[in-house]
Structure 1
Amino acid sequence: WLIRELAQVWIDFESNLLKVPIITKIHDGKLSLEDYKLLLLDLRQQVIDGSQWISRAASNIDIEIFELRSAFIKHTAAEHKDYQMLERNYEKLGESIKTIQEGEKNIGSVALSSFMFQQASKPNPIDLLGSMFIIEGIGKRLAAFWGEMIKDQLSLTDDQVSFFTYHGVADENHFHNLEKAINHPLMDIDLAKRIVKTAKTTARLYQMQLEELGNY
């Protein structure tokens, strides 16, 4: 049931993303360099929170369900370098690293990060597997594809799009960890429903983050 529901959440999310202006531009070959810089600038402000909410979630998971906790911890280690890669890509575009480091979250990122930290602060926030499913799905299924299109459209080099292209490779491993967690013996229908709801919420807020680029 859970896998089927999550698959539907993903299908809806992916089709909704195609209506988001920045994604439409990428697909239509109409992305400008300024659009891309803004995308990096805004993504970095939310990505930097990634390893923090996952760490917080892991610390709130009981030792009795250690296997599930380890799925979060593995995820944290992998996420930790992401924002630095974003910063390097931005700098390679000729921009000041200080600009991206001092940027602020757009209103969609504020909502997304607030939700993540709120969930992560609850006891045993296993439902955040739903968030990880969405975020890793972006990495596994979309990021490398977007990265290649951006690179071709704007005639960029690998070190200017590596945040996107790296994810297509790195998140293959992430996803395997997540599948193991989802098939855990402790998974029951109530927990499964919570995971699906959290996945849906994360998907909507992630979309909002992309819709609100530049809106601070």
Structure 2
Amino acid sequence: MTTATATPDATAVAESLVTRLTEVWADLEERLDRVPILSRLAEGTVTIDDYSRLLFNLRQQVVDGSLWISRAASSFDVDHFTLRSAAIRHAEEEHRDYLMLERDYVAIGGSLDELRAGRKNLGSEALSGYMFHYADRPNPVGLLGAMFIIEGLGAKRAAGWAARFQEVLGLADNQVHFMRYHQDADAEHTGALEAILTSGIIDDAAADDIVRCAQVVARLYVLQLEELDQ
């Protein structure tokens, strides 16, 4: 990763990176369409139990989100000050997100004690394990790829999922607040991320790491949604 002013070569790297990440996103969209619970949501056959299980499983992974972001921040050296600062701000903004999810779960009749005593499913274990492992690397620039996937899902898909759950199940706004909140919050985060990705400070090696991390996280996030009962 470079810290110099963007050059024509750096601009080309940035443009290529955006194209490659767009391809990763397109593959993710296709895989999401085949996830059983999301297929039922699209078909209108999803149940309140499906939604409850989704919140239950997401909560166990969401709790870890600000923790691995904070760990990544501590792994950036002074030459990566911009990324360290961005990670610190992001962790501070997200460390209470799981509380919104808990309120949604209780609002549909779930037990807070059971939710907090829950464990990660197989996909969530794999996703969190990968994120913490990557965050421990020196200057884990590749995690920008993880943010591209996770924040992108919040900005581009969460509100649509919330609206569809409300339409099919007749849910109130206070029962889908977590998903609706992330449309605006994650759109802001993706805007900041895109500014970094297109700034010209990403070199070829960093771009490769970002794309690879995005690919892995996309697969593991889908696995998390597929393994709601595991």
From 185, 194, 217, the equivalent of 1:202 is 217
Mind listing any 5+ residue stretches in structure 2 that lack a counterpart? 1-15
From 36, 58, 63, the equivalent of 1:43 is 58
**Aligned match of 1:145:** 160
Q: Report how many aligned residue pairs link the two structures.
A: 215
Counterpart CA distance in 1 for 2:94 and 2:176 is: 17
Preserved contact between residue 71 and residue 178 of structure 1 (Cα < 8 Å) = no
Instruction: Give the AA of the match of 2:37.
Output: I
**Aligned match of 2:74:** 59
Counterpart CA distance in 1 for 2:75 and 2:198 is: 21
* Stretch moving more, 193-202 or 68-77: 68-77
Mind listing any 5+ residue stretches in structure 1 that lack a counterpart? none
Give the drift of 1:186: 3.1
Bigger relative contact order (CA 8 A; separation at least 6): 2
**Aligned match of 1:108:** 123
- TM-score normalised per structure 2: 0.91
**Aligned match of 2:186:** 171
**Aligned match of 2:114:** 99
Are positions 1:7 and 2:35 aligned together?
A: no
Where do 4+ consecutive residues of structure 1 move more than 6 Å? none
Preserved contact between residue 71 and residue 181 of structure 1 (Cα < 8 Å) = no
Q: Secondary structure at the match of 1:124?
A: coil
Give the drift of 1:212: 0.3
Give the drift of 1:139: 0.4
Matched ranges for 1:115-126 at <5 A: 115-126=130-141
* Stretch moving more, 155-164 or 61-70: 61-70
Greater gyration radius: 2
